[in-house]
Structure 1
Amino acid sequence: MRRGGLHHVELRASDLAATGRAWAWLLGELGYEPFQQWDAGRSWRLGDLYVVLEGAPLGGTNDRRRPGLSHLAFHAGDAAAVEHLWTSAPDHGWSRLYEDRHPHAGGPDHHAAFLEDGERFKVELVAG
Structure 2
Amino acid sequence: MHHVEIWVEDLATDGAAWDWLLARLGYRLGDDWGRGRAWELGSLYVVVESGPDVLAGGHTRRRPGINHLAFHAGSCTDVDAMVAEAPAHGWSLLFAEAHPHAGGPDHHAAYLESPGGFEVELVAR
Fold match by TM threshold 0.5: yes
Q: Deviations over 1:58-103 (max 9, x none)?
A: 2121100010110000000000000000111000010110110000
1:21 aligns with 2:16: yes
1:11 paired residue among 6, 14, 27: 6
Segments of 5+ residues of structure 1 without an aligned counterpart are 1-5
Paired residue total? 123
Distance 1:29 1:63 in 2: 24
Deviates more, 1:51-60 or 1:109-118: 51-60
1:80 aligns with 2:53: no
Give % identity: 56
> Which residue does 1:108 correspond to in 2?
105
Distance 1:7 1:78 in 2: 25
Segments of 5+ residues of structure 2 without an aligned counterpart are none
TM-score (norm 2): 0.96
TM-score (norm 1): 0.94
1:118 aligns with 2:118: no
Question: How big is the shift at 1:31?
Answer: 0.3
